[in-house]
Structure 1
Amino acid sequence: MSTKARSILLLAFPDVQLLDVSGPLQVFASANELAAQQRLAEPYAPRVVAAEAGLVTSSSGLALLAHSISSVKGLIDTLIIPGGRGVSAASEDARLTRWIRRQTSRSRRIASVCSGAFLLAEAGLLDGRRVVTHWGRCDELANRYPKLRVETDPIFVRDGDIWTSAGVTAGIDLALALVEADLGRSIALQVARELVVFLKRPGGQSQFSAVLSMQGADDRFGDLHAWMVAHLASDLSVPMLARRLHMSERSFMRHYKAETGRTPARAVEQLRVEAAQRLLGETSWPVKRIASRCGFGSEESMRRSFVRLLRVAPQAYRERFSFC
């Protein structure tokens, strides 16, 4: 670890999303606590700043005590822009956007959490870059700022010295990635374990799990999905699933697609791929064993599904996301 603490600034504004600030803040604080336990110099010097010094009330009603942005002097290691209900008003604050824009020459890297990407975009820092925000606001971000290359699926995206992340808890994933980039995988993994979170989420850092993305308004197939996840190596053909729900195959196919937006076959494939992703990342099992455990007929069948859904082969996925 470096003997000089890296300055981490988290910008607050009225109606900021509390977890967008406190999630990353705790990651850096935990890294400091870990260093202290090992009698090492604290690697980070985080603080919350705002347009004016004093209390800033978050959208949840809890107030944050912030330093004034005018008190920020010298170079900054990392500037993090959170999102929240108040991001639209913050984007209209010319003083704030000018200050953010000026930090590009003073900061080693700049990041946003959730809808904080709107503030970075308004400051002109995201033009031509790959970015992500909360899944519910990706279309709005793309339409409002057409020069951005908005991606809808990742938990976070790094494009050069700009990092953007998805909704709310993704700020924790982002902060862990920053710690890993600074201090190495071992330290970041220890912080993740301390916080009882994934260093890299199963699912290839996707905003959605397969089960979550299949959930409809009344989730009438929720119990079936839970059973499918527990029996991936079983017969999950349409006739079998229809019989389990005491429905005709035709009726099951029609209602299932209307509710989930996909065919039962595609749903089964997604569930099996997600389970295989988890095992590839968390175990050292041979690919053949994982293919069998997840209900794929063969390694080749699993490979085809991975390439079709993830655009990467199982072994390449393991090399990128394995914890082992």
Structure 2
Amino acid sequence: MIGVLIFPDFQLLDAAGPISVFEIAARFAGGVPAIRAMAIEPGAVRSSSGVEMVARSTRPSAAITTLIVAGGEGTRAAAACSKTLSFVRGMARRGVRVASVCSGAYILAEAGLLDGKRATTHWQRTRHFVATYPWVKLEPDQIFVRDGDVWTSAGITAGIDLSLAMVAEDFGEEVAQKTARQLVLYHRRSGGQSQFSSLLELKAPTGRFAPLLAWARENLDAPLTVEDMAERAGMSARHFSRAFIAETGTTPSKAVEKLRIEVAKARVQSSSEAIERVAETTGFRDPERMRRAFIRAFGQPPQSLRRAARAG
């Protein structure tokens, strides 16, 4: 059974998205949907939109095999609720697969489920999350992350991608693909695909690393290792990496990749320059490496973006 934990001022789609995925998948798998909305205070729970969802108590939870924790405006209060944290910890101790959508990662972090683990959350919350939970190995540029039986996802619709990945694990890839088509999704995004919105943050960087990023943009054909960037910033590599994540919301290597993708995309779409040449001069070196980066960021390879730009 799938349990979806909600609380006052939760984000409605954080709960409704996964619920719809598992409902449709169960029918394709030939079963009956077994899904339960749960809350510490059962009954009608008001979402941040004002729409209410009826939730059952968290007490009869023995049948739950997967727990999905919603996010939303009420996350801070939920993460400070001892009953909520105790429930989440108890489910994890039982070996239940636990997941969060968007800011629901704060609840998992407060419960101690993310200690020393890889995780992600919405890109807008990255800086605050890193500062609050430095012991969590945050991967701020991912759609969703799995570390053992703990799953975390980025903002809102990424919860659908996470749920589809769980469906693929539970019922197989065919059922997951059928479910995605039923939901009229263009394609099922992998966990490694970038949160596209985070790419926008580096287009006009501000703060103390702005000069460094401007220099990197002008020298994309150089290796631009963490050590290279730390030396230019006058910092040790370890201190530089921590400070850079706190300032920009992403790792130095991911930032460099974003800059390379941004420049490469513009050249792919606006010129007839050979893909191999674009890869070489933007620092990807290998066209295959650039292709994989494009698929993570845009869900399409460079050739598809070029064809679309020409068609447009």
Q: Secondary structure at the match of 1:97?
A: helix
Q: Distance in 2 between matches of 1:210 and 1:308?
A: 24
Q: Distance in 1 between matches of 2:182 and 2:267?
A: 30
Q: Secondary structure at the match of 1:124?
A: coil
Q: Distance in 2 between matches of 1:310 and 1:116?
A: 37
Q: Secondary structure at the match of 2:86?
A: helix
Q: How does 1:84-163 map to 2 (within 5 A)?
A: 84-163=72-151
Q: Secondary structure at the match of 2:194?
A: coil
Q: How does 1:29-68 map to 2 (within 5 A)?
A: 29-35=23-29, 40-42=30-32, 44-68=33-57
Q: For the Cα contact (< 8 Å) 1:303–1:313, is it kept in 2? A: no
Cross-structure match for 2:15? 21
Change (3 A) 1:55 1:203: closer
Residue of 264, 270, 273 corresponding to 1:269? 264
Cross-structure match for 1:71? 60
User: Is residue 297 of structure 1 aligned with residue 286 of structure 2?
Assistant: no
Larger Rg, first or second structure (1 or 2):
1
Between the two proteins, what is the percent identity of the paired residues?
43
Long gaps (5+) in structure 2: 205-254, 301-312
Aligned-residue offset at 1:168: 0.8
Aligned-residue offset at 1:139: 1.2
Q: Residue type of the partner of 1:139?
A: R
Q: Secondary structure at the match of 1:153?
A: coil
Alignment deviations for residues 294-323 of structure 1 (CA, whole Å, 9 cap, x no partner): 8441436447758479994647988xx89x
Q: Secondary structure at the match of 1:71?
A: coil
Alignment deviations for residues 30-88 of structure 1 (CA, whole Å, 9 cap, x no partner): 112334xxxx223x5111000022110000000010000012225x3111111000010
Q: Residue type of the partner of 1:68?
A: S
Long gaps (5+) in structure 1: 1-6, 217-260, 276-292
Change (3 A) 1:165 1:317: same
Aligned-residue offset at 1:118: 0.2
Cross-structure match for 2:211? none
| TM superposition score normalised by structure 2 | 0.69
Q: For the Cα contact (< 8 Å) 1:78–1:107, is it kept in 2? A: no
| TM superposition score normalised by structure 1 | 0.66
Q: Distance in 1 between matches of 2:177 and 2:52?
A: 30
Q: For the Cα contact (< 8 Å) 2:97–2:150, is it kept in 1? A: yes
Q: Distance in 1 between matches of 2:286 and 2:124?
A: 22
